[in-house]
Chain A
Amino acid sequence: MGKKDNTDSLYASDPKIYPRAVSGLFAMWRSIGVFVLLGIYYIVPWLDWANRQAVLFDLPNRKFHIFGLTFWPQDFFYFAVILIIAAFALFFFTAIAGRLWCGYACPQTVWTELFLWIARKVEGDRPKQIKLDKMPWNAYKIRVKATKHFLWLALAAYTGFTFVGYFTPIDELASRIVNLSLGPWEWFWVIFYSFATWGNAGFMREQVCIYMCPYARFQSAMFDDNTLIISYDEQRGEPRGSRKKSDDPDSKGLGSCIDCTLCVQVCPTGIDIRDGLQYQCIACSACIDVCDSVMDKMNYERGLIRYTTENAKQGKSVNLFRPRIIVYATALILMTVSLAYAIATRIPLEVDILRDRTRLFNETDEGLIENTYSLQIINKDEQNHHYIITVSGIDGMKMIIKSDTVQIKSGEVLDVPLRLQIDPYDLKKRSAEILMTVTAVDNPDIQIIEPTRFLGPTGR
């Protein structure tokens, strides 16, 4: 597929790319993507839910709040499942329609789009930007460049502030940042993320996609002959050549491509789509939009550059339900349903049992065998609860605990020390499994049964 990259020295510094502004169907979809995704990013930290920030990854307190749910480090499992779901979703969409993620949803693309929009508002479109960069430094150039960077930095700073707002309550952060009274780590991350945004979206842009993105390197493994790709219709376009609108291309022996090079000028990665599919192509579809507008002007049929598949190009039928898609879709659905089920039936209680490590067992004055434990109980629920602790597993076991029930507030941890005593006559084994059950008094569904061991002298 596509021409081999003729390795025009991978390490030569690339010329700066000035992508030309483009309008059309796909440009509109990308703008919608930018609005929706950046809208979500900038607005979500300001939403409230039950008297606290709706989405707060509270790293200082080691709790993630997502609307009504609170996740603890012990819930890492869910995070892992979410990552796997995200990976399968990426595989699924890539196999169907190529680099949809890159063209419309990747933060790199989305912020770059916004930064380019600002640059075009300030400096003008591609020809003006090139002219500006070539011109010697003068008052005008300094003013225009300063305006652009001021706007870029302001946006980047707000982006960095919003980013930290996902990790510390944003209302409080906002009032502290205007008083310049953030903690050192908060300052560090606000500034770090702001500079990363400024550098990535302002300067590095699609260089990130070409040189730094791991997905860009392996995405072609998900492609097959039925995957939608952006492709130039070589049969129709060649031989390319300039002509007047009134000329008949057939009589001049020309194809539909008028060689206006607009498809190259709009390309954010600076490639020529007419050379075939290349791994630098992020499937932004800018070349489709601009080529369609040229075809309209020439009164030619649209679609000289279009979304198509390798099979369609060769006149074969396109098969959507191929094994690869079915496997990805099944995995995606299974994982999503299991995650939803696991979260819905999640018990908002965590019990860790620690045995007293200094002594395996004690013998009391009455001749009973005693084991000492410490229960760490975490109330992960949104409400406060009273809990009752019971043990089972060996008949005749006696539990010594300060009080029958313990109260734990929402989101708090309590260490409950307790001792178990048993008549050595009832002890059949040196190490016996016992079960400790912690149950919420007001809701028996909130119950955790945790196994542990009771140790004694050699059994008989």
Chain B
Amino acid sequence: MSDTALPTCQKAVSILWPAFLTAGVATILFFTAFDPSVLLQETRFADTSRMGAYTIGFFLFWLLTTTSCALTCFFRRPCNPKQN
């Protein structure tokens, strides 16, 4: 079955959803170990509240995991033109 049979929306969701799950886990583990107010106190983001840091942190993790999921899908495409 070729992946092109997937509607675009479903392709997007199939990348975003596992990324969301792992990003959630990563956020919990990361911010349990590291206090964002300590991490940021020497930087220009020192005014960010913890809630803000958690939220931004979650979306950065999501961006990272989405990238990795998307790359997996991208590299899974057959690269031998004969197979197409």
B residues in contact with A183, CB < 8 Å = 49, 51
By the criterion CB–CB under 8 Å, are B49 and A185 in contact?
A: yes
Query: Which residues of B from 40 to 59 have beta carbons under 8 Å from A?
Result: 49-52, 54-55
Bound-state Cα–Cα, A214 to B21, Å: 10
By the criterion CB–CB under 8 Å, are B5 and A11 in contact?
A: yes
Query: Which residues of B from 1 to 58 have beta carbons under 8 Å from A?
Result: 5-7, 10, 17, 21, 32-33, 35, 49-52, 54-55
By the criterion CB–CB under 8 Å, are A60 and B7 in contact?
A: no
Bound-state Cα–Cα, A215 to B49, Å: 35
Count how many pairs of residues, one from A and one from B, have CB atoms less than 8 Å apart in the complex. Answer: 32
By the criterion CB–CB under 8 Å, are A186 and B33 in contact?
A: no
B residues in contact with A189, CB < 8 Å = 55
By the criterion CB–CB under 8 Å, are B32 and A73 in contact?
A: yes
Give the nearest-CB partner of A60 in chain B. B50
Bound-state Cα–Cα, A186 to B54, Å: 12
Bound-state Cα–Cα, A79 to B17, Å: 24
Bound-state Cα–Cα, A213 to B51, Å: 28
Interface flags for A19-49 (1: CB within 8 Å of B; 0: not) read 0000000000000000000000000000000
A residues in contact with B54, CB < 8 Å = 59, 185
Interface flags for A177-198 (1: CB within 8 Å of B; 0: not) read 0000001111011000000000
Give the nearest-CB partner of A184 in chain B. B52
By the criterion CB–CB under 8 Å, are A11 and B10 in contact?
A: yes
By the criterion CB–CB under 8 Å, are A188 and B55 in contact?
A: yes
How extensive is the interface on chain B, given as a class? 10 to 19
**A13 at the binding interface (Cβ < 8 Å):** yes
Bound-state Cα–Cα, A62 to B54, Å: 11
Bound-state Cα–Cα, A73 to B50, Å: 14
Bound-state Cα–Cα, A212 to B33, Å: 29
Interface flags for A67-100 (1: CB within 8 Å of B; 0: not) read 0000001001000000000000000000000000
By the criterion CB–CB under 8 Å, are B49 and A60 in contact?
A: yes
A73 CB contact (under 8 Å) in B6, B35, B55: B35
B residues in contact with A185, CB < 8 Å = 49, 51-52, 54-55
By the criterion CB–CB under 8 Å, are B35 and A62 in contact?
A: yes
Bound-state Cα–Cα, A13 to B54, Å: 36
Interface centre among A11, A61, A189, A214 (most CB of B within 10 A): A11
Give the nearest-CB partner of B53 in chain A. A185
By the criterion CB–CB under 8 Å, are B51 and A212 in contact?
A: no
A residues in contact with B52, CB < 8 Å = 184-185
Bound-state Cα–Cα, A76 to B33, Å: 9
By the criterion CB–CB under 8 Å, are B17 and A212 in contact?
A: yes
B residues in contact with A76, CB < 8 Å = 32
A residues in contact with B6, CB < 8 Å = 11
A59-B51 in contact given A11-B5, A11-B10, A212-B17 (Cβ < 8 Å)? yes
Interface centre among A60, A61, A186, A188 (most CB of B within 10 A): A60
Give min CB distance, A411 to chain B, whole Å: 15
By the criterion CB–CB under 8 Å, are B7 and A59 in contact?
A: no
Give the nearest-CB partner of B11 in chain A. A11
Query: Which residues of A from 1 to 28 have beta carbons under 8 Å from B?
Result: 9, 11, 13
Give min CB distance, B53 to chain A, whole Å: 9
Bound-state Cα–Cα, A13 to B7, Å: 9
Bound-state Cα–Cα, A371 to B35, Å: 28
By the criterion CB–CB under 8 Å, are A11 and B7 in contact?
A: yes
Give min CB distance, B12 to chain A, whole Å: 13
Interface centre among B17, B32, B51 (most CB of A within 10 A): B51
Interface centre among B7, B32, B33 (most CB of A within 10 A): B32
Bound-state Cα–Cα, A185 to B21, Å: 20
B51 CB contact (under 8 Å) in A11, A73, A186, A214: A186
By the criterion CB–CB under 8 Å, are B5 and A60 in contact?
A: no
A residues in contact with B55, CB < 8 Å = 185, 188-189
A residues in contact with B5, CB < 8 Å = 9, 11
Give the interface of A toward B (CB within 8 A): 9, 11, 13, 59-62, 73, 76, 183-186, 188-189, 212, 214
Give the interface of B toward A (CB within 8 A): 5-7, 10, 17, 21, 32-33, 35, 49-52, 54-55
19 A/B residue pairs, CB under 8 Å, sorted by A: A11-B5, A11-B6, A13-B7, A59-B50, A59-B51, A60-B49, A60-B50, A60-B51, A61-B50, A62-B35, A73-B33, A73-B35, A183-B49, A183-B51, A184-B52, A185-B51, A185-B52, A189-B55, A212-B17
Given A11-B6, A185-B52, 11 new contacts (CB under 8 A): A9-B5, A59-B50, A59-B51, A59-B54, A62-B50, A73-B33, A76-B32, A183-B51, A185-B49, A185-B55, A188-B55
3 tightest Cβ-Cβ pairs between the two chains A and B: A185-B51, A73-B32, A60-B50
